[in-house]
Amino acid sequence: MIGSFQYFRFSFREVAPTMNEVLKYVQSTGLDKEHPAVVFTENVLKKLDNLQGICGGYVIKKNEPVLPTEGVIKIDDFTLHVGKQISKCLEEASYIALFLCTAGPDFSNITRKLNHEGSWMESYLVDAIGSLTVEKAMNIIWHNLAESMDKEGLKISNRYSPGYCNWDVSDQKILFSLIGDNPTRVTLSETCLMLPVKSVSGIIGIGENLRRYKYGCEMCNNQTCIYRKIIHE
């Protein structure tokens, strides 16, 4: 179970958001299929059909016993300052899966080109589709991990990322150090911004008696989270 980085690659068709998912994300639901916004979105999705570079994966490491009152998770010689809320959710974790996933550089390159051309609406849609794509890819990886751990008699938690649930984004540096070399080609800027931009990283708890808590927006101070946007708007 503990070992090398488990790597996954996806075609855009495998992880592309549906028309309804895109329209919901941009708050344009309830439109008939002939509506200009629907037709426009459909055409944008078709243009992205051959995108490459969508990939991700995880590495599993043994962690020290989690003490929620301290708000930290200790792995090898590193300490992740996840905060009391996340550490409470991972209190029963015996192992931690550290993950990375990216939709690749094409989304950013396309949106930059469209903005330069003045195609603001198309750029906005491509950006939204990129956000949804990396989330769908990571969901597949999460389910793969869940199935693998179930065979070992273990349960897994939801995924938690720096910048969410009051976990400071500066911990990205520690997270990347723990993950080590991997084939995703995701890098960090000096301000801990992931490149490509449409990327996600974080941790997933693994344990025999682990309880999976529901995501709760009230425990998180991130107002731009994709889930908060979809659920509450």
Q: Which CATH class is domain 6-232?
A: alpha beta
Taking the C-alpha atoms of residue 26 and residue 129, their distance in angstroms, rounded to an integer, is: 10
Between these two residues, 51 and 1, which has the higher pLDDT value? Answer: 51
Taking the C-alpha atoms of residue 151 and residue 77, their distance in angstroms, rounded to an integer, is: 29
Question: pTM of this prediction?
Answer: 0.90
Q: Which residues pair with 69 in a beta bridge?
A: none
Residue 164, both tokens: 């969410």
pLDDT, position 229: 52
Q: How far is CA 96 from CA 13, 159, 187, 225, in A?
A: 30, 10, 21, 23
Domain ranges of the chain: 6-232
Pairing of strands 6-10, 199-207: unpaired
pLDDT in tens, 157-194: 999 999 998 899 999 999 999 999 999 999 999 999 99
Q: Which residues pair with 184 in a beta bridge?
A: none
